[in-house]
Amino acid sequence: MTDAGRIVLSLGMLALSLGAGVARADDQQALIQRGEYLAIAGDCAACHTEEGRPAFSGGHAISSPLGVIYSTNITPSDSAGIGSYSLEQFDQALRHGVRADGRQLYPAMPYTAYARMRDEDIAALYAYFMHGVAPVDDAPEKTDLPFPFNLRFSMAAWNGLFLDQTPFTPDPDKSEQFNRGAYLVEGLTHCSTCHTPRNMLMAEKQDQALKGASLGTWYAPDITANPNTGIGQWSQQQLIEYLTTGHADNGATAGGPMLEAIDKSFSRMTPEDIKAIATYLLPDSPDTSAPTPAPGLRPIRDNDTPAALEKIGPGERVYRDSCATCHGMQGEGLNGLPALKGHPVLKKPTADNVSMAILEGVWPHQGQAMIGFDEELSDTEIAEVTNYVMHAFGRSDVHTDAARVAELRQGGATSPLLMLARVGMVGAGVALVILIAWSIWRRRRG
């Protein structure tokens, strides 16, 4: 080979290898971007980013029935975050609930849902958290749960009972869109974390998946396609609108933790993924929403005479003074402010979400907020107006009272779990003694 030929060849090889390098960098960049999207869909920031602190540096307090759990720093910091994690260790945390140091995570981290995720999505998330997130060397407050929940190894036994490690398997009889929706709902967007009721040991009841559960204060309603108890009367289009904007033309408006999930996660997901979620949750619902009737003139029905005023009950009284300016005297809404007449929240098996919205208000990132009335109205007044709204505008028989409102004001009922667990440990100890005695007895016999 001539020198010239050798030069041409080596130049060619150089160009080739450079090209490969560029391609690898592009791939890596695409992987990081994909991971960023998955982190949004998984709503990692909801718990791991605390307002006023750098992204993903943790420290967000999650009040659980067992005490406050602080989210951890998941930035690629070696000292305070997960910078030293290998892909495998990252996967162990995400899908198996085990940290790099071998200790167990609490299921406040929805690893039971993330366990459904595919390997390639784990890899993309890993790439994002290692290279797309700025490291923060600031360690948040440590979680300190009371005995026996501070014994993290107890979670290993819990995982043995409740962690299903089977990855998601698509249903070949269903469309690709349906399977994508199933993958998201069961895995990444972890809907069941709130919407599936939990058993005594705080594990999701698999036979009641997505059938609605109380979070102590806010109620996460039934989101199955059941037309009576769930969202079966919604069109897919309505659900898409709801997940994208926080409200839908069937009158639904999001509040509390769902509004947060929409603001931070669902509203930032691709239309295809939202459509997939709707397809999965409402497989048989019509694709388009029913046309809304044209607004017409309404006759004036109000009468301010003292005689009429005297007939007003206490709940209606509060409604008129504190609610009607925005929601309308007849619950008809105002210029885009939600109508209460026929609002889906009034059809739930509990009035908690109505009371919670009145207590805390509703504060979306964008658009009109609703003011909270916790300082202005008493428990009795909130119970009365809740009942008025449930009955007058929702035709519901569901009832609340001042005691329940007081409980909601305090952040929900305290969990019997702590007591149960402590008693349970004693019980388990007794069982263990019996078991050992029995096995010794058997061995002796054998």
List contacts with other proteins (CB under 8 A). Answer: 304, 309, 317-318, 320-322, 325-326, 334-335, 337, 361, 363, 367-372, 376-377
CB of residue 410 to other proteins, shortest distance in Å: 19
Compute the least distance from the CB of residue 326 to other proteins, in Å. Answer: 6
Q: Please list the helix, strand and coil fractions of the chain in percent, rounded to the nearest 5, in that order.
A: 50, 5, 45
Contact status, residue 196 vs residue 202, Cβ threshold 8 Å: no
Which one, 102 or 367, has the nearer CB to other proteins?
367
Q: How far is the CB of 292 from other proteins (least distance, A)?
A: 21
Which residue reads 């700025």 in tokens? 134
Q: Which is nearer to other proteins, 329 or 406 (CB)?
A: 329
| Cα separations in angstroms, 95 against 31, 138, 321, 382 | 19, 25, 51, 42
Nearest to 74 by CA among 47, 52, 96, 95: 47
CB closer to other proteins out of 309 and 413 = 309
Question: Rounded to whole angstroms, how far apart are CA atoms 441 and 443?
Answer: 6
**Distance of closest approach, residue 28 Cβ to other proteins, in angstroms:** 38
Cβ 116 to other proteins, closest distance in Å? 36
Q: Between residues 87 and 337, which has the closer beta carbon with respect to other proteins?
A: 337
Rounded to whole angstroms, what are the CA distances from 89 to 99, 100, 162, 288? Answer: 7, 5, 21, 45
Residue numbers belonging to the annotated binding site for heme c: 44, 47-48, 191, 194-195, 323, 326-327
Full DSSP string of 268-323: GS-HHHHHHHHHHHSTTS-SSPPPPPPP----------HHHHHT--HHHHHIIIII
Q: How far is the CB of 62 from other proteins (least distance, A)?
A: 23
* CB closer to other proteins, 58 vs 364: 364
- Which residue's CB is nearer to other proteins, number 115 or number 340? 340
Across 192-308, where does the E strand assignment appear? 213-214, 219-220
Q: Which is nearer to other proteins, 292 or 303 (CB)?
A: 303
Could you give the CA distance from residue 90 to residue 111 in angstroms, rounded to a whole number?
12
- The nearer residue to other proteins, 309 or 431, going by C-beta atoms, is 309
The binding site consists of 44, 47-48, 191, 194-195, 323, 326-327
Helix (H, G, I), strand (E, B) or coil at 337: strand
Burial class (CB in 10 A: 0-12, 13-18, 19+), 317: middle
What torsion, rounded to 10 degrees, do the Cα atoms 158, 164, 167, 169 define?
A: -160
Contact between 267 and 243 (Cβ < 8 Å): yes
The nearest distance, CB 329 to other proteins, in angstroms, is 9
Here the tokens at position 46 are 């909801």
CA 293 to chain centre: 34
In sequence order, what DSSP letters do the residues of 91-106 get, joined into one string?
Answer: HIIIII-B-TTSPBPP
Question: To the nearest whole angstrom, how small is the minimum distance from the Cβ of residue 401 to other proteins?
Answer: 21
